[in-house]
Chains A and B, each alone.
Chain A
Amino acid sequence: MKSLEKLLEEHNLTLEEYGKIKEILGREPNLVELGLFSVMWSEHCSYKSSRVHLAKLPTRGKYLIQGPGENAGVVEAGEKAVVFKVESHNHPSFVEPYQGAATGVGGILRDVFTMGARPVALLDSLHFGPLTQPKNRAIMEGVVSGIAGYGNPVGVPTVGGEVDFEEEFSHNPLVNVMCVGIADKDRIFYARAGKPGLSLIYAGAPTGRDGIHGATMASAEFGEETEHKKVNVQVGDPFREKLLMEATLEVMEKDLIVGIQDMGAAGLTSSSSEMASKSGVGVELYLDNVPLREEGMTPYEILLSESQERMLMVAKEGKEKEIKKIFEKWGIDAVVVGKTTEDKRFRAIWKGEVVADVPVDALAEDAPKYRRPFVPPRIDQRTDEEWGRERDWEEVLLKILSSPEMASRRWVYQQYDHMVQTNTVLLPGAGPAVLKIKGKKQAIALTIDANPSWGRANPKAAAILTVAEAFRNLATVGAEPLGITNCLNFGNPEKPEIMGQFVETVEGMRQALEFFAVPVTGGNVSFYNETQGRAIPPTLVIGAVGLVEDYRTIPRPERVEEGYGIYLLGWEGKDLGSSVYLRVVLGERGGKVPEIDLEKERALHRELIRLAKEGKISYAIDLSPGGLLPNLAEALFHIGKGAELSVKTDGEAYFLFGESPSRAIVFASGELETEIPSRKIGIVKGERLRVYINGKKKIDLELDELKSRWEGVFPKIFDH
């Protein structure tokens, strides 16, 4: 027999937690039961460190249909419902980049179609270590092809995302994937078990030993040992996922089920116990009925397996046959593996014996909640006159555009099928993704944003800035935000400094969302993103969904013509701290993050939305990381024309490369009248980018040359 200590360590449970389990059961748990508690009480499944803080986030809004607590959130978008969520797959992607990222896509897709929505889009937020290291290149290459390798066959376009590089991610990359689906408002499905006596139907891939303890793995740091142990990697099967999706949607359309949940982390255990607990019933599982892929699997393994592409449904009375028939048509196995019961127990039966028998609420609800101690993070307030010194701006621009930080992401998104389903009105690159809803003039605008370099300097301000940036991004196509989803990526929450970062980030997100009156509809928390004690910078990933009233009139680069005016809207500041400029050009990290005034920020969004709706502007871009000049250059690449800028400023570096928020650049044919500060800074002209500052010519470069440098960065790194 193993010592209790060893057993608990393997199950990532503390002695106190073990005590609580004994108290609940009134006896010692057997090994299977210990396994159940271990996964269900893991950080990943129970949110034990984050719950008390997440509860502060605003979850009401005028478009909200379903907030946190289900597989995905739901908002109203015109006549339809939009279902969306973001999920992390950081640890698996570090262990095996291709499969880790691929199965991450699979998991988030299931979260969305489980709700009755047809997935229409994927977005990915990716954070890697610097590409100067071969290992980081291999991870990025694997992750990108993994997302492509899963999303493309399933036929859901990957329409947006971001890639970012920071040293800390060398030891712990982040792979966050968001999925968006469209459903009928009155046809949303929930993780419910209904009443006692209903059949539980298992559909999808047979169960193997994949990812046993995946949830507990995601709830512990990587030490040297874990990295070598390379626990059972889950392999994705996008083909089966596609069939599972079609069959599930068909079963839903025919109204044959009471509730449904995907078998993600903690597999059969979490899906069955969570559905039952929510509906105040129990479950009895017949493990002998579970389709198995491997010989000799134990009840412990069957209950904890995280094999992919599996669903658990609660059938409407007497509909079992019909359900099976639909799955059979799609070539998917579907079998009854249990039933709901009166007694609120979670009971598993194997070879005629009860192998686990615990109160179902104890698994799903009674996980400990921790108010972990925290200390406020150190805020980086540094500024330096030296940052603003004048330099050769041509050289600087070239350097920034040909850095991985600002380079064209085409190498990435061209590997993703971003056009399948024929809704993609605005292709990747030019702004937020815009997807039309078939048969309607409305469209949804989607964006995913994070800024770990701000997070490192000031977690709370970073959260506010990130939310603002996401909504600013939506406003450039005239879209109002309907709701957000988010992923909180942090180090080890048992460390007070990390917990401090977390608390501040959530608080920043809360403030910003309350200000904008936009709800959180769900999200994900990923802790323990550290290896050998080195944590990632706090990284809040915001996935935002907005509504476009009429996709035919959105501002877009194709509308811009020679001679159009270029206007800078909003409020200028002197913000070079924690900027791309600082990192790429001066080789410095950190520094005071930009100041933001949310009133001004909102005024800018309103103005952008008004100008877009009234057709006053042809194209708009928000000023995000990189600052004015690199972002303007990118806009010109999309437009395919040069420009002549002529500006007066007393701080060239700040003006050209500063990252002050609450600003946007718009292109308009006539004179532009605005209700917020704006100034004309140039016109669209010729094939060169010329910049005159205070009357002196500072930049004069051929646009094509700039563009090919900008586009060539990733191909040069990855395609030799």
Chain B
Amino acid sequence: MGNRKIRFGVVVFPGTNCDRDTYHVIEEVAGEEAVYLWHKERDLKGSQVVVLPGGFSYGDYLRSGAIARFSPIMEAIKEFAERGGLVLGICNGFQILLEAGLLPGAMLRNKGLRFICRFEELEVVNDATPFTLLYSKGERIRMPIAHIDGNYFASPEDLSALERNAQVVFRYVENPNGSLNDIAGIINAKGNVLGLMPHPERASEAELGSTDGLRMFLSAAKFVRES
């Protein structure tokens, strides 16, 4: 059973635009199995890991992620997360998880008010999550960011809880957007729902400039395979 493929569900909301990229990396690069999950459905199709990819769900109108959180699929994902299922929110996916209350905090507009697309250096702060088993603590990795609402905010209580419980998983080495405590990615208290602004799927093939993101998918697969 050791080499059985792990099934990743890739959620598609209207306006999601990194679904195909994420699917491609899971299938072609990580060598696992990917299935699309349409926002109107409630069936996760046997997914062992659910990924909410990047993009502009509902155009990012109102607030990034604010409308997507009401989708039927989100109810299923909430239940899945409560049962301990692995959920990964990338960029807009992270914003949706925040809006849905699966992760604490909220996103504000970037400090410079502009969209920023570029590679950033990140520090791996917690290497003990299901998504970061293949990284080591303190390691510096490179992944692209591409967002205009990535300025992470949380109340002082939430923020200190995050720090206390080692829920901060990635920090920017140089803060590009004003995020509190340089936060680039966080995990929930239970340790199964990760959200991050950088795009691991864009850092999964050497010719695109980095393979540091691939390990996130491989790590989640390994975790599922071994549990």
Which of A239, A425, A438 has most B Cβ within 10 Å?
A239
Contact at B207–A436, with CB atoms within 8 Å?
yes
Q: Is the CB of B59 within 8 A of A417?
A: no
State A330–B55 Cα separation when bound (angstroms).
Answer: 16
Contacts of A420 in B (CB 8 A): 17-18, 21, 54, 146, 202
User: A148-B115, A420-B17, A420-B21 are known contacts. Are A238 and B144 too (CB-CB below 8 A)?
Assistant: no
State whether the Cβ of A289 lies closer than 8 Å to any Cβ in chain B.
no
- State whether the Cβ of A155 lies closer than 8 Å to any Cβ in chain B: yes
Q: For the complex, is B205 an interface residue (Cβ under 8 Å from A)?
A: yes
Q: Which residue of A lies closest to B114 (CB)?
A: A415
Q: Knowing A239-B61, A242-B15 are in contact, say whether A418-B112 is a contact too (CB < 8 A).
A: no
Chain B, Cβ-Cβ closest to A421: B21
Tell me, rounded to whole Å, the shortest Cβ–Cβ distance linking B57 to chain A.
9
| CB atoms of B205 and A422 under 8 A apart | yes
Report the bound CA distance from A154 to B14 in whole Å.
Answer: 11
Q: Which residues of B contact A419 (CB under 8 A)?
A: 117, 144, 146, 199, 202, 208
Closest-by-CB residue of B relative to A238 is B59
Residue numbers in A under 8 Å from B115 (CB-CB): 145, 148-149, 152, 415-417
Docked complex Cα distance between A330 and B25 (Å): 25
B207 contacts A414, CB within 8 Å?
A: no
Interface positions of A from 504 to 560, Cβ below 8 Å from B: 551-552
CB of B207 to closest CB in A, whole Å: 5
CA distance A239 to B60 in the complex (A): 8
Q: Which B186-226 residues sit within 8 Å CB-CB of chain A?
A: 199, 201-202, 204-205, 207-209
Q: Is the interface of B mostly helix, strand, loop or mixed?
A: mixed
The answer to whether B117 touches A239 (Cβ under 8 A) is no
Q: Does B58 contact A (CB under 8 A)?
A: yes
Q: How far is the CB of B84 from chain A (nearest CB, A)?
A: 30
Q: Let me know if B114 and A239 touch, CB within 8 A.
A: no
B54 contacts across to A, CB distance below 8 A: 420
Given contacts A242-B15, A330-B14, contact A425 B207 (CB under 8 A): yes
A152 contacts B56, CB within 8 Å? Answer: yes
Q: Say whether, besides A238-B56, A422-B25, A154 and B209 are in contact (CB < 8 Å).
A: no
CB-CB under 8 A from B17, the residues of chain A are 153-155, 242, 420
Distance of B198 from chain A, by nearest CB (Å)? 11
In the complex, whether A243 has a CB less than 8 A from a CB of chain B is yes
Residue in B closest to A415 when the chains form the complex, CB atoms: B115
Given the complex of chains A and B, what is the CA–CA distance between A154 and B209 in angstroms? 23
Query: Which of B24, B117, B205 is within 8 Å of A415, CB to CB?
Result: B117
Residues from chain A with Cβ under 8 Å of B100 in the complex: none
Docked complex: B7-51 residues within 8 A CB-CB of A:
14-15, 17-18, 20-21, 24-25
A294 interface residue per 8 A CB criterion: no
Distance in angstroms between the alpha carbons of A425 and B202 in the assembled complex: 11
- Complex Cα distance, B117 from A152, in Å, reads 10
Contacts of B159 in A (CB 8 A): none
List chain B residues, Cβ under 8 A from A17.
none
Q: Which of B20, B56, B112, B207 is the one whose CB lies under 8 Å from A239? A: B56
Q: A168 in the interface, Cβ–Cβ < 8 Å?
A: no
| Interchain nearest-CB distance for A22 vs B (Å) | 47
Are A155 and B117 CB-contacts (below 8 A) given A243-B15, A419-B199, A420-B21? Answer: no
Interface size on B, residues (CB 8 A): 31
A interface bracket (residues with beta carbon within 8 Å of B): 20 to 34
A16 to B25, CA, bound (A): 62
- A145-162 vs B, CB cutoff 8 Å, 1 = contact: the mask equals 100110011110000000
- Does A38 sit within 8 A of B, measured CB to CB? no
A672 at the interface (CB under 8 A from B): no
Q: Is A719 an interface residue (CB 8 A)?
A: yes
Docked pose: A239 CA to B61 CA in angstroms: 9
- The verdict on A167 contacting chain B, using a C-beta distance below 8 Å, is no
Q: In the complex, what distance in Å separates the CA atom of A437 from the CA atom of B205?
A: 14
Name the CB-closest residue of B to A152. Answer: B115
- Residues of chain B within 8 A (CB-CB) of A639 are none
A155-B60 in contact (CB<8A): no
How far apart sit A600 and B52, CA to CA, in the bound complex (Å)? Answer: 53
B146 — which chain A residues lie within 8 A by C-beta?
152, 417, 419-420
List the A side residues contacting B199 at CB < 8 Å.
Answer: 419
Is residue B66 contacting chain A, with contact meaning CB distance below 8 A? no
- Say yes or no: is A270 at the interface (Cβ < 8 Å to chain B): no
B116 within 8 A of A: yes
Q: Which residues from chain A contact B205 at a C-beta distance below 8 Å?
A: 422
A422 touches B24 (CB 8 A): yes
Q: Tell me whether A615 is interfacial, beta carbon within 8 Å.
A: no
Q: Say yes or no for B5: interface residue by CB 8 A criterion.
A: no
| Measured CA separation A243–B56 after assembly (Å) | 11
Is the C-beta of A677 less than 8 angstroms from some C-beta in chain B? no
Residues of B within 8 A of A414 (CB): 114, 116-118
Q: Is the CB of A417 within 8 A of B207?
A: no
| A373 at the binding interface (Cβ < 8 Å) | no
User: Could you tell me if B208 and A155 are in contact, using CB atoms closer than 8 angstroms?
Assistant: no
Residues of A within 8 A of B15 (CB): 153, 239, 242-243
Chain A residues with CB below 8 A from B18, complex form: 155, 420
- The residue that B208 contacts in the complex, of A148, A242, A413, A422, with Cβ under 8 A, is A422
A237 interface residue (CB < 8 Å to B): yes
CA distance A240 to B56 in the complex (A): 11
**From residue A123, how far is it (CB to closest CB) to chain B in Å?**
15
Identity of the chain B residue whose Cβ is nearest the Cβ of A240 in the assembled complex: B59
Interface core residue of A155, A419, A436, A438 (most chain B CB under 10 Å): A419
Q: Closest Cβ of chain B: how far from A398's Cβ, in Å?
A: 25
User: Which residue of chain B has the shortest Cβ distance to A157 in the bound complex?
Assistant: B117
Question: How far is A416 from B114 in the complex, measured between Cα atoms in Å?
Answer: 10
> Residue-by-residue, is B141-161 near A (CB-CB < 8 Å gives 1, otherwise 0)?
000101000000000000000
Say whether B116 contacts A415, CB under 8 Å: yes
Which residues of B from 87 to 125 have beta carbons under 8 Å from A? 112, 114-118
**Most chain B beta-carbon contacts within 10 A, residue among A145, A416, A420:** A420
Q: How far is the CA of A154 from the CA of B207 in the complex (A)?
A: 24
Which residues on A sit within 8 Å (CB–CB) of B202? Answer: 419-420, 422
Q: Are A427 and B209 in contact (CB under 8 A)?
A: yes
Query: B201 contacts which of A240, A418, A422, A424 (Cβ < 8 Å)?
Result: A422
Q: How far is the CA of A719 from the CA of B110 in the complex (A)?
A: 13
Residue-wise, chain A 402-419 has the 8 Å CB interface mask toward B (1 for contact) of 000000000001111111
Among candidates B14, B20, B117, B204, residue contacting A331 with C-beta atoms closer than 8 Å: B14
Give the nearest-CB partner of B204 in chain A. A422
In the assembled complex, which residues on chain B have CB atoms less than 8 Å from the CB atom of A330?
Answer: 14
Given contacts A420-B146, A422-B24, 11 further A-B contacts (CB under 8 A): A145-B115, A149-B115, A152-B146, A155-B55, A239-B58, A242-B15, A413-B117, A414-B117, A417-B115, A417-B117, A422-B205
Q: List 18 A-B contacts (CB under 8 A).
A: A148-B115, A153-B56, A153-B59, A155-B55, A239-B15, A239-B61, A242-B15, A242-B17, A415-B115, A416-B115, A416-B117, A417-B117, A417-B146, A419-B144, A420-B17, A420-B146, A422-B202, A422-B205
- The 5 A-B pairs with the shortest beta carbon distances in the complex, nearest first, are A155-B17, A239-B59, A153-B56, A422-B21, A417-B146
